[in-house]
Amino acid sequence: MTPPVFAHGHLRLYLLSLLDEQPQHGYELIQSLGDRFGGTYVPSAGTIYPRLAKLQEEGLVTKESDGRRSVYAITDAGRAELASRREEIDAIETDVTDSVRRLADEVRSSVGDAMRSLKADLASAARDARTAPQAAGVRVEPDADLRGASRQRLHEADAALTAFRAELRSELRSQYAAGRLAEDAVTLLTTRLDEVRREVTRALRG
């Protein structure tokens, strides 16, 4: 089970520290958190707004209307709260760094699993194609040229998968290092890999 990103009460305090940097809309706070985590963690509005409401009730932040949106700003009481818990804030920053590393590892693992699954499906389909006639009781001796061509195509497919994985892994690491690994990009990757796996499997099995 994946551990929570923030320990109990830490997200509330972290939001307060973000507002100490500048007043922000709720959506901007969500984006700020996403940026801090390199896109590996983006909290929902249902996670953020109840905590902002609680901070407002406690007099630690204010909320003012800015057209259609509300701007949250820290109060003097909020700054005093931060000052009294500075060591705790520093510990949270360390936890955030650890969480970013853990989430990035999970992203890499999920992408690697998808690639291994696709390679396994290709190998399984090739094996099924070789054994199907024998399973039906029909003895078929494949033509040497056809068998050689099939082997070449398998090598080409394997090489394409290897190159794809290497290139995407390099790009993922680069974006993570720059703090720009967006959640929608990872979702797109995993979704499209699953779609390609199913399409290629259907094509192989005819």
Specify burial of residue 100 (Cβ count, 10 A radius: 0-12, 13-18, 19+).
buried
- CATH 1.10.10.10, the chain: domain bounds: 10-84
The pLDDT tens digits for 82-141 are: 999 888 877 777 766 666 666 566 656 666 566 666 666 666 665 555 555 555 555 555
Structure tokens at 91: 């510990």
pTM of the predicted structure, to 2 decimals: 0.46
Domain 10-84, CATH among 1.10.1060.10, 1.10.10.10, 3.90.25.10, 3.30.230.10:
1.10.10.10
Rounded distance, CA 124 to CA 138, Å?
A: 20
Does the domain made of 100-205 have the CATH classification 1.10.1040? no
pLDDT value of position 206: 67
- CATH 1.10.132, the chain: domain bounds: 100-205
Compare 92 and 50 and report the one with higher pLDDT. 50
